[in-house]
Structure 1
Amino acid sequence: MSNDLRVLLVEDDSDIAFLIKINIIKAFHDVEVHITQTKEEALNILQEYKYDFDIILLDYLLGDITGLDILEEIRKITDIPVLIITGQGSEEVAVKAMKMGAQDYIVKRGRFFSKIPEIIENIKKKKSRYDKNKIFLAFYRFGTSGTEPIYVNRIPEEYEDIKETVILSLGVMLYTLFGMGEIDKLESSSIISGPVRIPKMRDYYATSLLYIVKDKNQLDKRLEGKDYCIVALAYPFEYQDIAHGIEKIRNILNKFFDSINDVSEISDKVKDVEEQIYNVISWF
């Protein structure tokens, strides 16, 4: 199943919480399950990290407090998808939960915990607010006369006829913004720009990150055998809140660039990281 998933599990029964966590870990790669046992703890975490979680699993009964009470408070903080886990299998509970913003519910019956990963995947498919066909990634390096594209797999269909012009214009924009200054003072994986409007694309913007990579063919001795790679995430204006998830995207890119031994390897390895990023965006 999909990569890079962060789950907040609100469950006061430690045995049940353990079984749920184990089944999620088995089903997903690069998953983190954070367990809380009280309403207060869950709400405090969400107040501070509301953009960090992809889904909330919420037990219907926490002591004398119902999951519906907590769900009402959650919806004041975030619109993260919520799955209600209940021992009360009545339609009434399900209807109330859905009306209050829960995406689904499951009854604690039999090996219910083994079904949770599939429900999470289904919620993800329904949840995404973004059409990934309108989003694209572009990888550039600093060449001898400006930015050079390393990898741009696709751009939105409406701009396909002028794809080369878009790629060139985006590269020029990045060079104008970052190549004219003291770029050697920037740290790898710094968020260096965004959102900035992309030339030749109506109402499209880019948020960009910088990475320092080794370059065995680097001719400029001042750069000491390294090069600079800029990754631009491009999206339409109405998707601008996608920037709230930039830390998750940066974490994926950090791992990717840690595995790169030379800039020449990027084009051969980038396809997998591109897919990981699109998967993560689908949770935003």
Structure 2
Amino acid sequence: MKLLLIEDDAEIVDVISTIFQISCPNSRVISASSGRKGIESVESVNPDIILLDLGLPDMNGFDVLKQIRNFSDVPIIILTVRGDESDVVRGLTLGANDYITKPFRQMELLARVRRLLTKKQINGEDLSVTCGKMHFGSSIRELWIGDTLINLTVSEGRIMYMLMKNHDKTVSYEELSELLWGDYYPEARSNLKTHILRLRNKIEENASNPKLLINSPNRGYILKTTD
């Protein structure tokens, strides 16, 4: 994952770089200290996601956002001290995907970045993922098992997407919760269980004795490869 940080405060750059180095070891943080350098970096680096400050030394952050949106649909999170409602509305109207005010909470920032990256994969219709006889049709709401079409809700489709992408491996409660709701909260496990029960009723021959969608006790769920 390549994250472009358009930010002129060196201390914040160091903090965010450290957060992602620890929490996402395979990530790469590229920083640009001005709006102009940031725009150039979008073209040269092709980042997976951008964190954009509004208070840049050479350009208004909103102008940076508008110029990036002229040629790229990369997910953008505005990260700024400016918390007025008018600024939030303007940022989202101009094409930002999310808006976070400083000081920010580290785990919340990570959760929002992960959620946008997952949405980017799904909304980009990267539907070639398969698991045995299971594959998607024209959207994540169309799951095929062999020649049988199973209609899913969007939430069910997102869960299946994650499970199929990581088939035969445990997908944690936390990962699934962040996928659906952007964070892990006390009631998440119970709400996930409801979604899983509905999925089992749709894909299992006997939902009370599942062979495909299996519990990983106290960890999450596993989707077994079908024959």
- Normalising to structure 2: TM-score of the pair? 0.56
Alignment-derived partner of residue 186 in structure 1 = none
Is 1:116 paired with 2:109?
Answer: yes
Letter of the 1:108 partner, please give it. Answer: K
Matched, 1:21 2:1: no
8 A Cα contact 1:61 1:67, kept in partner: yes
Unpaired stretches in structure 1, ≥5 consecutive residues: 138-150, 163-269, 273-281
- Equivalent residue for 1:93? 87
Of structures 1 and 2, the larger Rg is shown by: 1
**Aligned to 1:35, which of 21, 31, 34?**
31
- Counterpart of 2:147 in structure 1 is 161
Paired with 1:131 and 1:40, the residues of 2 have a C-alpha distance of 31
Would the aligned equivalents of 2:78 and 2:100 in 1 still touch at CA under 8 Å?
yes
In 2: Cα distance, 1:41 partner to 1:153 partner? 47
Paired with 1:38 and 1:271, the residues of 2 have a C-alpha distance of 45
- Structure 1 residues 32-78: Cα deviation after superposition (integer angstroms, max 9, x where no partner): 1111111222222222333xx11100011111522101001110121
Question: Which amino acid is the alignment partner of residue 58 of structure 1?
Answer: L
Q: Report if the CA contact (8 A) 2:39-2:68 is conserved.
A: yes
Distance 2:144 2:105 in 1: 45
Preserved CA contact (<8 Å) 2:6 2:53? yes
Contact residue 78 and residue 91 of structure 2 kept, 8 A: yes
Q: 1:106 aligns with which of 100, 105, 118?
A: 100
- Report if the CA contact (8 A) 2:36-2:59 is conserved: no
RMSD, matched Cα = 2.7
2:135 maps to amino acid: I
Whole-Å Cα distance in 2 between the matches of residues 18 and 57 of structure 1?
Answer: 14
How many angstroms apart in 2 are the aligned matches of 1:159 and 1:49? 39
1:11 aligns with 2:13: no
What are the residue-to-residue correspondences of 1:1-284 with 2, within 5 Å?
5-50=1-46, 53-109=47-103, 111-127=104-120, 128-131=122-125, 134-136=127-129, 154-156=134-136, 157-158=143-144, 160-161=146-147
User: Is the 2:32–2:41 Cα contact (8 Å) retained in structure 1?
Assistant: no
Take 1:159 and 1:126, find their aligned partners in 2: how far apart are those partners? 24
How far did residue 136 of structure 1 move? 3.0
Q: Which moved more, 1:75-84 or 1:64-73?
A: 64-73
Q: Describe the SS at the equivalent of 1:106.
A: strand
Deviation, structure 1 residue 124: 2.8
CA contact (8 A) 1:20 1:116 kept: no
Which structure has more relative contact order (CA 8 Å, sep 6+)? It is 1
More strand by share: 1
CA-to-aligned-CA distance 1:225-273 (integer Å, 9 cap, x gap)? xxxxxxxxxxxxxxxxxxxxxxxxxxxxxxxxxxxxxxxxxxxxx967x
Q: Percent identity?
A: 26
Structure 2 counterpart of 1:6, which letter? K
Alpha-carbon distance in structure 1 between the residues aligned to 2:110 and 2:52: 14
8 Å CA contact 1:106–1:112 kept in 2: the answer is: no
CA contact (8 A) 2:133 2:145 kept: no
What one-letter code is carried by the residue in structure 2 that aligns with 1:14?
A
Q: Which has the higher helix share?
A: 1
Equivalent pairs counted in the alignment come to: 145
Tell me which residue corresponds to 1:249.
none
